[in-house]
Amino acid sequence: MKSLAVITFIGFCAVMWINVPFPFIIPKGFPPPVYRFQNNARTKEGFELGRKLFYDGILSKDGNIPCSSCHQQFAAFATYEHRLSHGFNDHLGFRNAPGLFNLAWERELHWDGGINHIEVQPLAPLVDPHEMAEDLNTVIGKLKKDKTYPVLFKQVFGSPGINSQRILRALAQFTASLVSADAKYDKVKRGDSHFNQYEQKGYEIFQLKCSRCHQEPLFTDLSYRNTGIEVDSTLKDYGRMRITGRKEDSLKFQVPSLRNVFLTFPYAHDGRFATISEVLEHYNSGIIQSPTLDSGLRKGIPISSDDRFYLIYFLETLTDSSFIRNPLYSDPALHGEMAKPVEDSH
């Protein structure tokens, strides 16, 4: 009876051309999200439009650099195995492309927190000459001339017209929907699975040595910290200071989530660490003292080789294979087939 009512309701929506509501489910144990699709009610059609845009090179100058070129689903939407990503005309980007998941919980985005709202984030890669190298008004013009987009925009927003707000809101419907909360860790927390003894031991070491910054359940506290790294002499990236202009923020970067950490290598804002072991060794013995160094890292974090062994077991439980295989998030042009890592396509 209940299902009949649902079917009737959806049928009614379809007949009346009303977009089907598409509720956003907050994973159990997660805090309330920052982005709640305010003024941008989440609908299946809106999500699908955002997904299509995310995978479409039309947003880039030469048509070859969609968002998904640097944010690959099989790498939890980071760039697989690249320190820096390739953009327009083979330019190298400025920073390591972060994985995209649980963005609805981020008040500020990017390594330096320079983006103050998820809806305006796509503007940064879109106009960056090293990334998509495009002009916003040109993109609007291209989408208006396209065969399918004008129809889709009308369907999603209820009236004809394509403008920057509609493009950005559709993209946010997709990106804010990328939720990763179904790793083995989550199954254990829900009581559906158990850590083996190595994972359990790794979890205890994690809680003792890492969770001050990589707080559960997001595995980041989203703060900005200098983790004892030196500035790269070619990139000259001082992180948060670039945004605030304050000396106190020199070399501080937003704490990245450790969810899917096995998939998002290389690590750090410029991809300087190739492996998890290198990162752990950095905390153990590689901290560089500087005035803005995080107060908890003055003496480093002692991580023995035993600790490292168990920690790696635990960190693997943060890989969410149902997220990277979810056909809802994949390239719509692949019709449910998943993209796989290929030998360096760039």
Partner 1 sequence: MIQKIKSVAFFLFLLLVMGSFQKKEMDSTLIIQFRAYVHGSPLELNKKYLNPFGEAFEVTRFRFYTGKIAPAYIDASLKAKITSPYHLIDFSDSNSTRIELPVAAGNCHGIQLQIGVDSIDQSRGAQTGALDPAKGMFWTWNSGYINFKIEGNSPLSTQPSHLFEYHIGGYRNDNNTVWKIKLFSTNDESFLITKENKVVIEVGLDLDYLFDGPTPLRIRETSSCMMPGELARKISENFIGTFTGLTISPNP
Cα dist from 101 to 82, 133, 242, 334, whole Å: 19, 24, 24, 21
Q: Which helix (H) or strand (E) holds 198?
A: helix 197-209
Q: Which of 162, 279 has the CB closer to partner 1? A: 162
Contact 295, 287 (CB under 8 A): no
State which of residues 51, 61, 82, 169 lies at the interface with partner 1 (CB under 8 A).
Answer: 169
Site for partner 1 in 55-114 (CB under 8 A): 110, 114
Report the nearest approach of partner 1 to the CB of residue 195 (Å).
40
Stretch that binds partner 1, among 66-74, 81-89, 166-174, 181-189 (CB under 8 A): 166-174
Contact 28, 20 (CB under 8 A): no
Stretch that binds partner 1, among 4-12, 119-127, 181-189, 247-255 (CB under 8 A): 119-127
**115 lies in the binding site for partner 1 (CB under 8 A):** yes
Contact 17, 152 (CB under 8 A): no
Report the nearest approach of partner 1 to the CB of residue 249 (Å).
11
**200 lies in the binding site for partner 1 (CB under 8 A):** no
State which of residues 36, 44, 91, 117 lies at the interface with partner 1 (CB under 8 A).
Answer: 117
Q: Which of 117, 154 has the CB closer to partner 1? A: 117
Report the nearest approach of partner 1 to the CB of residue 134 (Å).
11
Q: Alpha helix locations (H) across 36-148?
A: 44-54, 123-127, 136-145
State which of residues 172, 258, 276, 279 lies at the interface with partner 1 (CB under 8 A).
Answer: 172
How far apart (Å, rounded) are the C-alpha atoms in residues 137 and 153? 16
Site for partner 1 in 232-251 (CB under 8 A): 242-245
Site for partner 1 in 124-143 (CB under 8 A): 124, 126-128, 136-137, 140
| Residue whose C-alpha is closest to residue 139's, from 127, 157, 129 | 127
**168 lies in the binding site for partner 1 (CB under 8 A):** yes
> Facing residues of 267 across strands?
273
Report the nearest approach of partner 1 to the CB of residue 131 (Å).
10
Report the nearest approach of partner 1 to the CB of residue 136 (Å).
5
Report the nearest approach of partner 1 to the CB of residue 41 (Å).
14
How far apart (Å, rounded) are the C-alpha atoms in residues 316 and 149? 40
Contact 34, 104 (CB under 8 A): yes
Q: Alpha helix locations (H) across 132-196?
A: 136-145, 149-157, 164-175, 184-190
How far apart (Å, rounded) are the C-alpha atoms in residues 117 and 242? 18
Report the nearest approach of partner 1 to the CB of residue 63 (Å).
20
How far apart (Å, rounded) are the C-alpha atoms in residues 150 and 115? 28
Q: Name the site residues for partner 1 (rule: CB under 8 A).
A: 39-40, 110, 114-120, 123-124, 126-128, 136-137, 140, 163-165, 168-169, 172, 242-245
